[in-house]
Amino acid sequence: MELFRLTVAEARKLLDKREISATELINSVYRRIDAVEDRVRAFITLTKGQAAGMARNAGTKIKSAGPSSPMLGVPFAVKDNMCTKGILTTCASKILFNFTPPYESTVTSRLNDEGYVLVGKTNMDEFAMGSSTENSGFHVTRNPWDLKRIPGGSSGGSAAAVAADECIAALGSDTGGSIRQPAALCGVVGMKPTYGRVSRYGLVAFASSLDQIGPITKDVRDSALLLNSIAGHDPLDSTSAPVSAPDFTAALGRDIKGLRIGIPGEYFIEGIDPEVARAVRDAIRKLESLGAVPVEVSLPHTGYAVATYYVLATSEASSNLARYDGVKYGFRAEGKDLMEMYMKTRSQGFGAEVKRRIMLGTYALSSGYYEAYYRKALQVRTLIKKDFEEAFKSVDVIVTPTSPSAAFKAGEKADDPLQMYLSDIFTISVNLAGVPALSVPCGFTPDNLPVGLQFIGKHFDEESVLQLAYAYEQATDWHKRDPDL
């Protein structure tokens, strides 16, 4: 078996037994990158020099210390909106084309402390605004299952890199589905933890009340292992919850007999791809055969989620992105006076989708419209959160499709923003409510494109989500399939 195909758990075992070295592992990953990256284009920046040094350091620690932290010597990719000290961090935007952070994000700092090996920074929709990774300011990432199709977004580079075995695992960020949707479309596992479970310090903000960092992995066990490393309270992040993090791997392998799984009718709607609906229905029957008890639930405000999200997220983006003015860092255009410099910098530095969202958000926050749009959206967000709270009174975990369709062709929805926004219709509510959710592969379409199954849990109950997802994964073989590259 090629080393680049290993999971985190498999790599850990071989490294600790000293059957392989960290250097051999990273070299295998880079050979894979050399073979496929020109077609997949998952990365913005590769850190080959740093990775070699990190692997050597990991090798020394393994020799001297024996069995070690799960991440020691394991090659990871990181979405390019997480600050990495001394390494280019662009958010896939021309406005940050030359930005090298002077500090480290909390999540990468924690992985550094465990001795991970950074493969590189992955491509994304600019400032995480998109569902296809076509909005990158640099290039389009391709889906490893079909290079004519998109990998999803905005963490499309991370999901494609994991699916193509260009890293062992990766970090993504999820504002409205940006981990789970690309994970579903690329046939890998993606988890959005509870809002506040993982520190956002050093994550370049899109919508601060919605953004959350999480793992993209080859299986559920790796997701639990990586969550163990990055979860926990951080005093540097005022939104980080002062809640202790359990050992998430402890939930894996527990019997799911008697667990109540909620099936919301609002997620099986007209317009969903019949092949996606079939695969998800089959997955629910499989869970039932394993002892889970299906219960019909209602999330009545689901139909308002997309509109609510695109008022709140764009409003927060308008505020957060005001800092990019060409003065302190990043791209700067020349102008005859300060105002012209501001205008040229922002018009030339931001892509079309980012400018669209800034304008939408600025409008929603403007005098005379705040009450009509932003305030109402906040009220509907509360109703959506209450929907989940009510549903969880009768069920343990909610099960839904992750995306209404499999991966679509590149360019297919580029001229229709509304259709693109609807790609996240099944994931957005989770961010608005702040609850955890995870996507696992649950089948393939006749075109051999992956389908994702979404597990949604109660606040800070990632354990039940992982328990149920792991039981399903172990009873099926969907996660074992690899794209033919």
DSSP code for 87: B
Report residue 260 as tokens: 């109540």
Is the predicted pLDDT of residue 413 greater than 90, yes or no? no
Average pLDDT, the chain: 96
* Position 387 pLDDT exceeds 90: yes
Contact between 475 and 262 under an 8 Å Cβ cutoff? The reply is no
Are 227 and 214 in contact, with CB atoms under 8 Å apart?
Answer: yes
Catalytic residue among 131, 178, 240, 464: 178
Residue 284 forms part of a structural domain: no
Contacts of 222 (CB under 8 A, 6+ apart): 7, 8, 9, 168, 169, 189, 215
Active-site position among 21, 28, 79, 121: 79
* 337 lies in some domain: no
pLDDT at 86: 97
- Return the pLDDT at 414: 77
Does this model's pTM top 0.85? yes
Q: Is 416 exposed, middle or buried (0-12, 13-18, 19+ CB in 10 A)?
A: exposed
Closest by Cα among 99, 139, 129 to 355: 129
- Residue 368 is predicted with a pLDDT of 87
In eight-state DSSP terms, residue 399 is E
What does residue 221 show for φ and ψ, rounded to 5 degrees?
Answer: -60, -45
Percent above pLDDT 90 for the chain:
93
pLDDT at residue 228, as a whole number: 98
Q: Is 154 a known active-site residue?
A: yes
Number of CB atoms found within 10 A of residue 410's CB: 20
pLDDT range class, residue 383, cuts 50, 70, 90: very high
- pLDDT tier at 1, thresholds 50, 70, 90: confident
247 is a domain residue: yes
Tokens of 276: 């996606």
Mean pLDDT score, 40-66: 94
In a domain, 264, yes or no: no
- CB contact set of 64 (below 8 Å; sequence gap of 6+): none
Does 180 fall in a domain? yes
Q: Which two tokens stand for residue 478?
A: 């969907």
| Alpha carbon distance 83, 125 (integer Å) | 16
Range of the domain at 106: 3-259+395-480
Whether the pLDDT of residue 360 is over 90: the answer is yes
Between CA 453 and CA 113 the distance in angstroms is 33
Concerning whether 79 is annotated as a catalytic residue, the answer is yes
E strand or H helix at 355:
helix 352-365
Instruction: Give domain status of residue 378, yes or no.
Output: no
Q: Is 178 a catalytic residue?
A: yes
What is the C-alpha separation between 129 and 354, in angstroms, rounded?
7
Rounded CA gap, 291 and 453, in Å?
A: 18
Q: How much is the pLDDT for 261?
A: 98
**What is the rounded CA–CA span in Å between residue 12 and residue 73?**
8
Confidence (pLDDT) at 159: 98
What would the DSSP string read from start to end of 179-229?
Answer: THHHHHHHTSEEEEPPTTTB--TTBPPSSTTT-EEEEEESSHHHHHHHHHH
Give the chain's domain count: 1
197-227 residue pLDDT tens:
999 999 999 999 999 999 999 999 999 999 9
Asked if 465 and 437 count as a contact pair (C-beta separation under 8 A), the reply is yes
φ, ψ for residue 431, nearest 5 deg: -70, -40
- pLDDT digit string, tens, across residues 282-315: 999 999 999 999 999 999 999 999 999 999 999 9
CATH number of the domain to which 82 belongs: 3.90.1300.10
Residue 345 has pLDDT above 80, yes or no: yes
68 has a pLDDT exceeding 80: no
Task: Taking residues 164-178, report their average pLDDT.
Answer: 98
- Identify whether the C-beta of residue 197 lies closer than 8 Å to the C-beta of residue 191: no
Domain-located, residue 351: no
* Closest listed residue to residue 226, CA positions, set 71, 404, 62: 71
Q: Which of 305, 308, 348, 294 is nearest to 324 (CA)?
A: 348
* Active-site residue identified among 154, 223, 429, 439: 154
Q: What percent of the chain has pLDDT over 70?
A: 100
Residue 328 has a pLDDT of 86
Q: Are 141 and 41 in contact (CB under 8 A)?
A: yes
pLDDT band of residue 400 (cuts 50, 70, 90) is very high
Res 454 pLDDT > 90:
yes
User: Which one-letter amino acid corresponds to residue 382?
Assistant: T
Q: Is residue 290 part of a domain?
A: no
Q: How far apart are CA 176 and CA 432, in angstroms?
A: 8
C-alpha span between 466 and 131 (Å, rounded): 25
